[in-house]
Each structure stands twice: as structure tokens, then as C-alpha cells.
Amino acid sequence: MLLFLVVLLFFGCNQDHSSSEITKIALRDIGNQLLLSQQDSTSLILPVKEISTGKFELSFQSRLAFTPDSLVIFAKNSIEKANLPSEYRVEVIQCEDEEVAYSYEVKNNQDESIIPCKTRELPLNCYMIQILFIGKAQTFDYFWLVLIIVMVLVLALWYRFKTNTKRTLEEPYYYKIGNYKFDKEQSKLLYVETEISLSKKECELLEILCDNLNDLVKRDELSKRIWEDHGVFVGRSLDTYISKLRKKLKEDSTIKITNVHGVGYKLEVSKT
């Protein structure tokens, strides 16, 4: 999931970068058309700057004069061709004092667009043109990223709930010992319909023997694992608990707990 989100974020960042570069190309196209309308095919268009998020600045090597009407048309055409946001604000700023010589705003609803004094020519001067996109760029939409994250989390929670429910409904795990079932969680033996309770020590001892079925387990290992952290161990304690387990497993003749004298014990289940 994390890898998937990283890929999406990377994709989104690349989209933003690509959109920024396309916007700069569109602004250079606007500048080029303005210069050509003044019969100027040699003056340079200076590098387009992104001065803040969604705001770009176009500037020129030479002074120019133009009618706002031509700027409105050139900007509209270039922005539409580049598939940029259709709502934007344009400001023509005088280089010397940074005063706004002309500005207008375009909205999707034409009645809300403000384009004043389109035919009054701006005199020859040094101008910077700033365009702020106030609409929604057609780039990676972070709404979809949030939606995807929510969907992934919902699916993860649903899967976890389903898994936990399935585990709850499943039969508890038993050790199978001949005709007995050993439920270590409930500390009991099940024989046919009879439940036989086990003490904590009996349960711990039987679990170790079951994990080593038909294999010898040394006395030292048994005593260490069961009694080491639970108080004093008396030599006869292990034998006593083995004897108790034998009695509780006596209903099945295929089960034996064998004593290898002085070495350890082995839980054996013979095939019938």
C-alpha cells in the first residue's frame, strides 16, 4: 500500500512539474504574439518565472506598446491550446514603479469576467505580464489520492474484520493425541464427550510432550522450562505430574508416557 501511494505521489509531482512547464510555454507563446503584433521579430522574451503557486511572470528584453484587446485574445488562445485552467487573472505591470498598468479577470461564467478598456492602447514602456490561474488545473487531482487512501484503508479494515470473524468461527486449535483432544487454551482434555481439566503445570508439561511426540524429552529440559521461573523445584514434582497425566490419558490404550530412567520422558502414540 505504501509503495502504491509513493507511486501516486511521484506521479502527481511529475504532473505538477509538467503543468508548470506547459504553462511557461503558453506564456512565451503569448509574448511572441504580442511582439509579432508590433512587427518585432528580433527582441527576446526573457525566461518565464513561476513566482508563486499558479502565478507566472512574462517579461521582455525591449519595451513594447500594445492594445489590451490583443493581449486578451492572445492569452485566451494560448491558454486554451495548452489546456490550462480557464479561470485566470492577468496584470500588466510597469517595470519602473511596479504599478499595475492594466488588469482583467476571466471566469467560466462570462457575466462574471471583468475585461475593462480593451481598446485603449498601452504606451511604449517596459512591461511585465503576470498571470494567476484561479481555476482548477487539469493535473493530478489530490482528491483522488485521498479517495484512494480511504478506499485502501476501508478494504484493509474489511479484510481484517473478515479474517478475525473467520478465525472466531473456526474450531479452536487442538493437539490430537490418540482419541484425545488437548485444548491448551482452555487447559483441558476432551475424550469423546468428556472434559478433563488440567492444572497449569499439567498443561505446560503436556504441551512440551505433544510438541515432541514420540521423541524423548530430557528431565532437565522439562524441569527448567516449567519450574525455573515459578519457584522451587522438588525432584519428585515432575514424576508426580507425569503420574497425573498418565491417569488422565488412561482411557486410550494407544497412549503411553514412557520413562527412560534417569534421562527423561517420551509421549508415545501407537497406531491401532
Q: Give mean pLDDT, residues 214-219.
A: 92
DSSP 3-state of 181: strand
Buried b (16+ CB within 10 A) or exposed e, 119-138: eeebeeeebbbbbbbeeebe
Answer yes or no: are the C-beta atoms of 16 and 140 closer than 8 Å. Answer: yes
Answer yes or no: are the C-beta atoms of 221 and 245 closer than 8 Å. Answer: no
Region of residue 254 (phi > 0: left; psi between -120 and 50: alpha; otherwise: beta):
alpha
**CB-CB neighbours of 27 under 10 Å:** 25
Identify the band that residue 80 occupies on the pLDDT scale cut at 50, 70 and 90.
very high
Identify the band that residue 2 occupies on the pLDDT scale cut at 50, 70 and 90.
low
Answer yes or no: are the C-beta atoms of 184 and 201 closer than 8 Å. Answer: no
**Could you give the percent of the chain with pLDDT greater than 90?**
57
Q: Give mean pLDDT, residues 13-40.
A: 83
- Write down the pLDDT at residue 88: 95
- Write down the pLDDT at residue 174: 82
- Write down the pLDDT at residue 262: 84
- Write down the pLDDT at residue 117: 84
Span 127-170, pLDDT tens digits: 999 999 986 544 445 666 677 888 888 888 887 777 665 555 45
Q: How far is it, in rounded angstroms, from Cα 174 to Cα 181? A: 6
Give the mean pLDDT of the chain.
84
Lowest mean pLDDT among 125-129, 168-172, 205-209: 168-172
Q: What domains does the chain contain, in order, with CATH numbers?
A: 2-133 (no CATH), 175-269 (1.10.10.10)
Q: What is the dihedral of CA 213, 215, 216, 220, to 10 degrees?
A: -60
Question: Which triple of cell numbers denotes residue 16?
Answer: 505538477
- Write down the pLDDT at residue 225: 85
DSSP 3-state of 131: strand
Q: Give mean pLDDT, residues 12-35.
A: 80
- Write down the pLDDT at residue 15: 47
First to last CA, the chain: 52
Assess whether pLDDT exceeds 90 at residue 216.
yes
Answer yes or no: are the C-beta atoms of 178 and 254 closer than 8 Å. Answer: yes
Q: Look-up: residue for cell 511572441? A: 32
- Write down the pLDDT at residue 84: 92
